[in-house]
Amino acid sequence: MSVTERPDFYSLVAKNRRATWGLLVAFFVLLALVSSTFTLALGAGLIGVIAGLVISGGMAATSYFSSDKIAIASMGAKPASIEEYPRLHNIVEGLSISAAIPKPRVYVVDDPAPNAFATGRNYENAAVAVTTGLLAKMKRDELEGVIAHELAHIRNYDILVMTVAVATAGAIALMTDFFWRLMYFGGGRRRDNDKGGNPVVIVGMILVAILAPLAAAMLKAAVSRRREGLADATAVELTRYPTGLRKALEKLDADSTVVQRTSHATSHLWIETPDDHRGGRRGKRFNDMFDTHPPLAERINTLRQMEGLGPYPGPAAVVS
């Protein structure tokens, strides 16, 4: 896309929503393939499939209903008082009105690395948190861009979408684990006249058992990346000012500090993941398929196109 062909946030929102639902459909197709394959492979396969779905569904439900409490506790976030953080509350309240959602609870994480996250299964249980580093390093318009991005996750019900993705990936992982255990303990031995005894069928089943969890992890990461793109576009819709978020992302790209209290399980919640600052990784192209966020440079370039600017010159060109 040339600089003169500026993308608008409405088309980006529609594009990312279509892509997200397309990926979720692919998830369910993969789940159906795995279920039918293992039902064919094992005499008690259907029972195993149902058990896997029930267990993974229960785990997902527990995570879903406790997502806000788990995230806030694991990040070490503390409630932000209006008296101590009036600017932050003012921005959150104003953007919540623009997004037509109730004002979420506001938290602060005592960490010098600039970052932010949102959590909550619905509007009533939503929360947004920022680090002290973000408050110290961002100007008002940049902070508004970041907060708008996080409120967009709440407005777009991204926790629900990601819960569906995680639950589906979990069900596939449990079913493949169940398959391997039954095969190991002899559950896969079938009568000679059974189709399950066909070596070609058995090899196909083993390939599915190996590749399905890998495909599920890739799909889950792809859904997360699409939701990040959707949140960027929705943030511009709320602020009508792509420059604020663009400058904030450029500062994040130029800042190499990483939030201390984070892990692989929670890295997808932040507006910027630790992987954005890991360069020269062996097998980077393969690992990128499992990243939960698009590259910062890619997100910045999309916003620059909205402004009619040229390509992102890199973090060295960022001026505080």
Is pLDDT larger for residue 162 or for residue 90?
A: 90
* pLDDT mean over 227-244: 93
* pLDDT mean over 80-88: 97
Q: How far apart are CA 293 and CA 273, in angstroms?
A: 7
Predicted local distance difference test score (pLDDT) of residue 1:
47
| Active-site hit among 150, 228, 250, 272 | 150
Is residue 117 classed as helix, strand or coil in its secondary structure?
Answer: strand
Which runs of consecutive H residues, i.e. helices, occur in the chain?
Answer: 9-41, 45-65, 67-75, 86-99, 132-137, 140-155, 158-184, 199-239, 242-254, 284-288, 296-307
What are 185-198's pLDDT values in tens digits? Answer: 655 554 444 544 55
What are 9-18's pLDDT values in tens digits? Answer: 667 667 767 7
What are 21-76's pLDDT values in tens digits? Answer: 777 777 777 777 777 776 666 555 556 566 656 766 666 667 667 778 888 988 99
Which is nearest to 40 in space by CA: 173, 209, 212? 209
Is residue 67 classed as helix, strand or coil in its secondary structure?
Answer: helix
* Spatial contact of 24 and 163, defined as CB atoms under 8 Å apart: no
Residue 123, Cβ density class (10 Å: 0-12 exposed, 13-18 middle, ≥19 buried): middle
Asked if pLDDT for residue 4 goes beyond 50, the answer is no
Of the listed ranges 103-112, 245-254, 282-291, 308-317, the one predicted with least confidence: 282-291
* Spatial contact of 296 and 271, defined as CB atoms under 8 Å apart: no
Predicted local distance difference test score (pLDDT) of residue 244:
97
- Residue 141: CB partners within 8 Å, gap ≥ 6? 241, 243, 244, 247
Predicted local distance difference test score (pLDDT) of residue 3:
44
- Residue 191: CB partners within 8 Å, gap ≥ 6? 197
- Domain segments of the chain: what residues? 1-320
What are 159-179's pLDDT values in tens digits? Answer: 777 777 777 777 777 777 777
Answering whether pTM is above 0.85, one says: no
Residue 237: active-site member: no
* Spatial contact of 133 and 112, defined as CB atoms under 8 Å apart: yes
Pick the most confident of 6-15, 49-58, 85-94, 299-308. Answer: 85-94
Asked if pLDDT for residue 248 goes beyond 70, the answer is yes
